[in-house]
Structure 1
Amino acid sequence: MDPITAAGIGLSITSLALQVLSGCKKGYELFVEMGGMPTKYRHLRTRLRIEQTRLLTWAEKIGLVEELLHEHSRTLSLNQNLILDILLEIQFAFKSVVKVTNVYDSVVPQHEISANTSTNSQISILRRTLYHLENPSKAIARLEWAMVKQEKFEELIMRLIGYNDRIESFLDRSTLQDLRTSQERSNLLLLQVSEQVGQLRALVDAVQLGTSRGRLPETQRLSRSSTLAEPENAPASPFADLVKFKLQQKAMDSAGEDLQMLLSSSLLFPNGVPGAEPRTKTKLYGKSLWVEWSESVPETLGISDLVQMSEDRVSKLAAMLGSPNKPSAFRGPHCLGYVRQEDEVVGLRFGLVYDASSSLDDGTVGVRIQSLRDLLQGTRKPSLTSRMALARQLTESLLYLHAVNWLHKGLRSDSIMFCSPIEHAWKDKDLEAPLVSGFEFSRPDISEEITVKTTSRIEHDIYRHPDLLSYANLRSQKSHDIYSLGLVLLEIAFWEPIEVVAGISLTRKGARAAILPIRDNLLTKSFRGYPSMWDALAAEMGDDFAEAVWKCLRGGLDIGLPPKADEADPQTGARIQEAFYQEVLTRVQHGYR
């Protein structure tokens, strides 16, 4: 066969596949927006949404969109017949569970090309995903539950999972990783807007439904000798753990029971209670621990019911940080519980107790516990690779913390810990295993959640957004956490504490007034012979890293936050999350270039 004829046949098959894909999209829309579905099947609808997004994503990745047909796609050209077969199977799968097939055929013509079948970029896919989450009732037609063979519905979902898995297995490793990243972003949007316990339970069940990988019956599997299957040891997404964690958080907020997280102070401190230092190292049953103390409860909270409210908050926080469902992506240390200390010197304060050895080998004799601030002040500048890895870990940690609507409120170099065997010398590689602590005032990001104000300390205030320092009654928000992250990234880049980078002495008179304009100074003034801090940062870490830090410091529209928007609103949170992923995390992940 001559090349021109072969190319023509290939184009015809691709064009047909595009038409069938259009029918598959409409099939998904019909079933996702189906009316009259009983509540017990809600998790299946949720799983359909996830598989719908997977379909849209891989279609773009293999070039099966109208705008990309003129570009050569190796995956599409090598597997076009198999892809067409699978798309036909998807369309048939939808049709096979409808009792009256002519109703389905009237809505989903076999060869219709919709004007909206394609997308120009991954951003448009994510925007469409968010649009459907915000507008769940806008379907092209209405399919009712009574029209569906209910006993076949779950089998349909499993088949769709299997078909998506099969097409994804055609992709090379690089493209597959891009696809996983795109899917993770879509899943995080879904998690961000799921606030009710019922929605989260459905999401947990939907994710668990996919753990079987949607295996197709032997008679329905398609042969594919020319492609590599997805490796069994592929890195797991933290999405399932994030969903379970958020559900546990919601359930705990409404339960109101005694969580029994209070530990004995006499066991932890047999030689007497410690002084007023913010962090205390100790041992219990041979384990190396550290205790992070909250500031003393202010006198205005001395009323018994408010003190109890504060202790309840600490107890819940300890339970969440010690939960087996806590995602490893949080990079949080394992919390054993909390202690209560009250005396004439320090007043009343609570301490979260962390296990310093939980992330180390069982045979470790002694544990070295250091903060990032300790390292900034006492070690040489580590390699660029190690600093980049640390920056990525911390940025991912904040992304996932915000994905479950939890605020940190105390992100600074002093709250980033490193635990390493004391018998080994410190290595740059140890930077790649940070533990994010400093959660003593964390809270869910919901408007009705009571905020416990922190006691002002200048070494902490320098990391806080200027708005929090200027307005006493302002609530902490996600954008404030992101600003604090930007300052920590600056410290990692130059390997200096932020007050050194900013040229401020925290011990001199007037230091508190000097920290108020720190944000404006960093964004507008020259720095160490460079026209701006951005230029110095780019020279040290690369343009992408510099731009990521700039987005954190500027905030606002740079992180998806319109003026006067309510950050506690799930839709606003979803936009901040998507902008943070795209504009900050992705740039940090790109590294030096």
Structure 2
Amino acid sequence: MDPISAAGIAISVASLSFQVFAGCVKGFVVLSSAQNFGKDASFLRTMLNVEEYRFIQWADTVGLTSPGGKMLPQINRGLADELMVQLRDRLDCVKLRERYSIDLQPANLTSQAPDNCIIGGSQAPDILASAVSDERRTEILAHAKLIERKTGLPKRLWWVMIEKSKFQDLVRDLRQIVDALWNLLEPMRLRELVQQVDRTLTAVVDMSHDIDALKGVQASLSLKTIDFPGEANLSAAVGLKVMREQLPDDGSDPARVKSLNHESIRPLHRNLLKQPTNRQGNGGSFIAEYDGKQVLCEAKPVHGRLKSKLRLRSTNLANLLALPKNPGFLTLSCLGFLEDVDEFVFLYEYPPGADTSIQPRSLQDLLRDKKTRPPSVTARIRLALEICRTILTVHTAGWLHKNIRSENILFFTDREKSGNGPDALTQPYLTGFAFSRADSPVEISDQASEDPLLDIYRHPKALGEPSDSYAMYMDHYSLGMVLTEIAEWCPLKFIIKNHVDVTRSEIDVPLSALAGVHAWLVRELVELGRIEFRMGEVYGNAVSWLISRKHGELKRHESTERLLAFQQFVNELGCCRV
């Protein structure tokens, strides 16, 4: 065959692939823009739009939307075309009634409500509008000559029969086909695609307050047929965000607070709690028995004037931490909390499979243990990654921890494994949520106790009283301190001893010296490259960014960009191999 003929065939094949792709996009548009979705409009449309976005991102990755419309040579084009034909067939509104018992029909012009009239929520906002815009859809369909550019998107149809469960069956089938298309990619391109989609969905979850739409994202993620890295943590974050949006805050109407019914936690009874006889003072964590079972307790001192407000926040926190746990979200399941005269005591279950006869060890305990062989760089990077993933989940859900330090990262001994084996550092549970709260300007900030041993982990602007209102960058600063400890494999109090000695309780430490920890660490560890030397450039650059003082000046609307920057670091750390 001569070269010109071969080139012509290649162009026609590429054109055919684009036509099938555009036909799928048209199917998504027709279904998602149809009127009369009913009361579940936001939920159902979001589920559909997530799959449309994932499909178009795949097409961008393989080159279908490039000027030439030609797929990457590494892609099995025949299989890709076959899968897209299946996808287009599933989106065919003529076949929906037969397959899923849902039906679309042309609108009756005499009975259809005006487009600007909201019927059963059918005009619910699309939280993914910025991900796949109408302009992008129009461009794709016009290029395939499926519409005239001047006439815009296809005419809206009308749902005459739609059932939530049947529509979810449709989306499940679409998800399976899109997952199969994703799996045609080489591992590196697949990882980049997963990270790009997760980045967009993370921003959507962070900025959205539409509960039904968030539930739609959550439902879409739950339909996965293949485990893609990062999706498990995002799914956990969406679940927390859905619950968080339904919980009352400090500014809620009392009538609304009473009307909310959350059954995640049950009332606890003080007479069932057996505290250790050697417990000293208020606050802190300790092991106790509740109703005959070993539990971890975290006590939070409470001022009388704030008790009523903090009671609501404590209830919210207990509800959030009582939700079913994703394996990648390493926090303990909360049973609830008990109220005392001057403190709230939160009760947590041991992780499934943990040996309750052995007390958990904190990261700080391990850092101080000179009898155990220090972990390798590989083990320390894996440890840091698990901690960062859990904190990323908390922040994506719109929550702040406020007490990140090595003492609040616990390791439990598995009943089936040795506590000192190679897997001993693979399950770091984040605890110490007693001062945690929603990331909201209407939430009050209660002060943690003043203790130099704790203050060295806090951002300079979080020291003293009054301090700046707590924000995400302050959590990031505390995380940077913990990552520094992991890099040096030494407790922070000893790392900074040349600057300030907080190990001697009889000596008063001025706030100015504590606030100076930041500058000293930057000068002695970051700028001299000690963190990079021990852990590599990705890790070292992240610590520098996390503890950077300038991020405290970010405005509220820029918090999403900071969250995405942190997510990028977590992704990069997950790719490190030592």
- Shorter-chain TM-score range: 0.7 to 0.9
Distance across 2 between alignment mates of 1:76 and 1:297: 63
Contact 1:341–1:350 under 8 Å retained in 2: yes
Q: Which residue of 1 aligns with 2:205?
A: 191
- Please state if 1:498 is matched with 2:492: yes
Alignment of 1:121-136 (within 5 A): 132=130
Contact 1:34–1:142 under 8 Å retained in 2: no
Instruction: For 1:580, give the aligned amino acid.
Output: F
Instruction: For 1:553, give the aligned amino acid.
Output: I
Secondary structure of 1:432's partner?
Answer: coil
Distance across 1 between alignment mates of 2:65 and 2:394: 35
Instruction: For 1:187, give the aligned amino acid.
Output: L
Q: Which residue of 1 aligns with 2:75?
A: 75
Residues 100 and 271 of structure 1, relative CA distance in 2, 3 Å threshold? closer
Q: Which residue of 2 aligns with 1:59?
A: 59
Task: Give deviations 1:436-468, integer Å, cap 9, x for gaps.
Answer: 001001111122223322222222221111122
Residues 481 and 29 of structure 1, relative CA distance in 2, 3 Å threshold? farther
The offset of 1:520, in angstroms, is: 2.8
Q: Which moved more, 1:435-444 or 1:449-458?
A: 449-458
Residues 441 and 7 of structure 1, relative CA distance in 2, 3 Å threshold? same
Contact 2:25–2:137 under 8 Å retained in 1: no
- Please state if 1:391 is matched with 2:384: yes
Residues 500 and 18 of structure 1, relative CA distance in 2, 3 Å threshold? farther
Q: Which residue of 2 aligns with 1:332?
A: 331
Q: Which residue of 1 aligns with 2:513?
A: 514
Q: CA RMSD in A?
A: 3.9
**Percent identical across equivalent pairs?**
24
Distance across 2 between alignment mates of 1:555 and 1:516: 11
- Please state if 1:250 is matched with 2:236: no
Residues 93 and 13 of structure 1, relative CA distance in 2, 3 Å threshold? farther
When the two structures are superposed, what TM-score results if normalisation uses the length of structure 2? 0.77
Residues 279 and 382 of structure 1, relative CA distance in 2, 3 Å threshold? same
Residues 522 and 539 of structure 1, relative CA distance in 2, 3 Å threshold? same
Alignment of 1:288-367 (within 5 A): 288-294=294-300, 296-298=301-303, 302-303=304-305, 306-324=306-324, 326-342=325-341, 348-356=342-350, 358-361=351-354, 364=355, 366-367=357-358
2:555 pairs with one of 551, 565, 570:
565
Secondary structure of 2:424's partner?
Answer: helix
When the two structures are superposed, what TM-score results if normalisation uses the length of structure 1? 0.75
Q: Which residue of 1 aligns with 2:179?
A: 165
Q: Which residue of 1 aligns with 2:434?
A: 440
Residues 50 and 360 of structure 1, relative CA distance in 2, 3 Å threshold? same
Instruction: For 2:514, give the aligned amino acid.
Output: I
Q: Which residue of 2 aligns with 1:581?
A: 567
Residues 581 and 270 of structure 1, relative CA distance in 2, 3 Å threshold? closer
Q: Which residue of 1 aligns with 2:363?
A: 372
2:285 pairs with one of 276, 279, 288:
279
The offset of 1:484, in angstroms, is: 1.3
Alignment of 1:538-557 (within 5 A): 538-554=532-548
Distance across 1 between alignment mates of 2:381 and 2:237: 25
The offset of 1:31, in angstroms, is: 4.8
Residues 135 and 460 of structure 1, relative CA distance in 2, 3 Å threshold? farther
The offset of 1:526, in angstroms, is: 4.0
Distance across 1 between alignment mates of 2:198 and 2:426: 22
Task: Give deviations 1:473-500, integer Å, cap 9, x for gaps.
Answer: 4211112111211111111111112233
Distance across 1 between alignment mates of 2:4 and 2:524: 61
By percentage of residues, which structure has more helix? 1
The offset of 1:14, in angstroms, is: 1.9
Instruction: For 1:245, give the aligned amino acid.
Output: L
Contact 1:17–1:83 under 8 Å retained in 2: no
Residues 72 and 201 of structure 1, relative CA distance in 2, 3 Å threshold? closer
Secondary structure of 2:317's partner?
Answer: helix
1:450 pairs with one of 444, 453, 458:
444
Secondary structure of 1:283's partner?
Answer: strand
Secondary structure of 1:199's partner?
Answer: helix
Secondary structure of 1:51's partner?
Answer: helix
Q: Which residue of 1 aligns with 2:251?
A: none
Contact 2:288–2:295 under 8 Å retained in 1: yes
Which runs of 5 or more residues in structure 2 are unaligned?
Answer: 97-102, 108-125, 139-151, 249-255
Residues 319 and 47 of structure 1, relative CA distance in 2, 3 Å threshold? closer
Residues 5 and 484 of structure 1, relative CA distance in 2, 3 Å threshold? farther
Secondary structure of 2:381's partner?
Answer: helix
Distance across 2 between alignment mates of 1:38 and 1:71: 39
Q: Which residue of 2 aligns with 1:110?
A: none
Runs of 4+ in 1 over 6 A off after TM superposition: 67-71, 94-98, 128-131, 133-139, 233-236
The offset of 1:35, in angstroms, is: 5.7
The offset of 1:135, in angstroms, is: 8.0
Which runs of 5 or more residues in structure 1 are unaligned?
Answer: 102-127, 214-229, 343-347
The offset of 1:417, in angstroms, is: 0.8
Residues 81 and 7 of structure 1, relative CA distance in 2, 3 Å threshold? farther
Residues 464 and 88 of structure 1, relative CA distance in 2, 3 Å threshold? same
Contact 2:485–2:492 under 8 Å retained in 1: yes
Distance across 2 between alignment mates of 1:157 and 1:281: 46
Contact 1:399–1:581 under 8 Å retained in 2: yes
Instruction: For 1:320, give the aligned amino acid.
Output: L
Secondary structure of 1:496's partner?
Answer: coil
Q: Which residue of 2 aligns with 1:264?
A: 270
- Please state if 1:182 is matched with 2:187: no
Residues 287 and 249 of structure 1, relative CA distance in 2, 3 Å threshold? same
Distance across 1 between alignment mates of 2:231 and 2:137: 33
Contact 1:36–1:144 under 8 Å retained in 2: no
> What is the number of residues matched between the two proteins?
520
Residues 293 and 162 of structure 1, relative CA distance in 2, 3 Å threshold? closer
The offset of 1:247, in angstroms, is: 2.4
Secondary structure of 1:394's partner?
Answer: helix
The offset of 1:332, in angstroms, is: 0.5
The offset of 1:45, in angstroms, is: 0.7
Contact 1:63–1:73 under 8 Å retained in 2: no
Distance across 1 between alignment mates of 2:46 and 2:565: 24
Task: Give deviations 1:181-233, integer Å, cap 9, x for gaps.
Answer: 4333333233223313343344455556x46x6xxxxxxxxxxxxxxxx58x9
